[in-house]
Amino acid sequence: MIVAERKSFSEILSMVENYSKIIVLGCGSCVTICMAGGEEEVKILASQLRLAFKKDKKNVEVEEFMALRQCDDEYMNDPTLIEKVQDADVIISMACGVGVQHATAFFDRVITDRPTRIVPALNTTFMGANLDTGIWEERCVGCGDCVLEKTGGICPVTRCAKSLLNGPCGGSSNGSCEINKDTECAWHLIVERLKALDELGRIKAVEMYKDWRPSHNGGPRKIVREDMRL
């Protein structure tokens, strides 16, 4: 899932302090799971804003709303939400960076009399897994050329500090990375995993370097499934 964390309250407040009608818009997917932008976090931020404006004796209306996913038209196309956004001065999006951008484009399409101002409440950090209560760790960088079948299901691009495709580097000690002793050496994990699978011979194959350009055509990457298009 996409993992994010909330910006400081002072930074969020600085984005919206000059507006009188604000909507705090949460997202019910990834950022809810990592407790950054779900219903509870929306309530907390909205309450903080109301208290701050009350302290400064400002008459500001702060509303709360949840979308199941801000990155999908199907879940944004809510007449109640659109009506509220049309009447608001600014939207504080508690989605990841993808959600913020998609919400901006969506409202620009459905609200044509003026552009909608949307500001981010979160910093998007990585794609990761929930290791324990309150702990998330990066597991994928979205490189576009997955090698997990060759490395026992452990990603060297993400989990190796040097992103080595042909490791180990020789600098690890007792299974820990030489750069950070609190980080497990990815290639130590890979070797042990391949041993358990009785596939250690795979490590002898030389993996070709990756093309790290974001897109061969320039700009953001895109997937088009012609079999799904109407």
Reading the chain (230 residues) residue by residue, the pLDDT tens digits are 999 999 999 999 999 999 999 999 999 999 999 999 999 999 999 999 999 999 999 999 999 999 999 999 999 999 999 999 999 999 999 999 999 999 999 999 999 999 999 999 999 999 999 999 999 999 999 888 889 999 999 999 999 999 999 988 888 889 999 998 889 999 999 999 999 999 999 888 888 877 766 666 667 777 788 888 87
pLDDT at 215: 60
Dist CA 38 CA 24 (whole Å)? 11
pLDDT at 225: 83
pLDDT at 168: 86
Dist CA 108 CA 115 (whole Å)? 6
Angle (CA) 181-182-183 rounded to 5° is 90
Using a 10 angstrom Cβ sphere, with 0-12 exposed, 13-18 middle and 19 or more buried, the burial of residue 202 is middle
Of the candidate CATH numbers 3.50.50.60, 3.40.50.300, 3.40.50.2300, 3.40.1010.10, the domain formed by 2-126 belongs to 3.40.50.2300
Length reported for the chain:
230
pLDDT at 95: 97
pLDDT at 144: 83
Using a 10 angstrom Cβ sphere, with 0-12 exposed, 13-18 middle and 19 or more buried, the burial of residue 8 is exposed
pLDDT at 218: 67
Helical (H) or strand (E) element with 23:
strand 21-27
pLDDT at 217: 64
């060759």: which residue's tokens?
150
Domain extents in the chain: 2-126, 143-230
